[in-house]
Amino acid sequence: MCLLKLNDDDDGALRLTEDLHDNIPAYAILSHTWGDDKDEVTLDHLDGKMKAGYTKMKFCGERAEKDNLKHFEAINSMFRWYCDAANCYVYLSDVSVSKGDEDHIRAA
C-alpha cells in the first residue's frame, strides 16, 4: 500500500510513500465523490495544484496533520484500508464550513 503525506518543506506539496508492506503507520483516509476525470489528481501527477481535485487531497493532508497523523490516502480504496485507517474524513464539495468552525466538527 502506498500512502500520501504532506512534504516536510514549507510548500506542503503532496508526496507518495514507497510501497509499504510491513509496519504501516497510522493514517487517515478520505471518503469523497469523484469529479470529472480532467479535474482529478492522479498518483502519477501529484503536482496538479491547479485541478479542482487537489483541494480535497490537500484538505485531507491538513486535517490529518491537525490530528497528528503524518500519512493519509486519498484514492478509492479497498474495504480493509477503510477499516484499518486511524481516521476517516469526508469531503463534500457542496458543503461549506465557516472559518473557525473546523474544531467543532464531530465524528458521527
pLDDT of residue 21: 82
Answer yes or no: is pLDDT of 12 > 80.
no
pLDDT of residue 98: 72
Please tell me the number of Cα atoms within 13 Å of 101 on its side-chain side: 6
Alpha-carbon separation of residue 81 from 4, 38, 52, 92, 101 (angstroms): 13, 26, 24, 20, 28
This prediction has a pTM of: 0.61
Would you call 65 exposed, middle or buried from its count of C-beta atoms within 10 A (0-12, 13-18, 19+)? Answer: middle
pLDDT of residue 38: 79
Choose from 9-13, 36-40, 59-63 the range with maximum mean pLDDT.
59-63
Answer yes or no: is pLDDT of 57 > 80.
yes
| Arithmetic mean of pLDDT, 21-41 | 80
pLDDT tens digit sequence for 76-90: 446 667 778 888 887
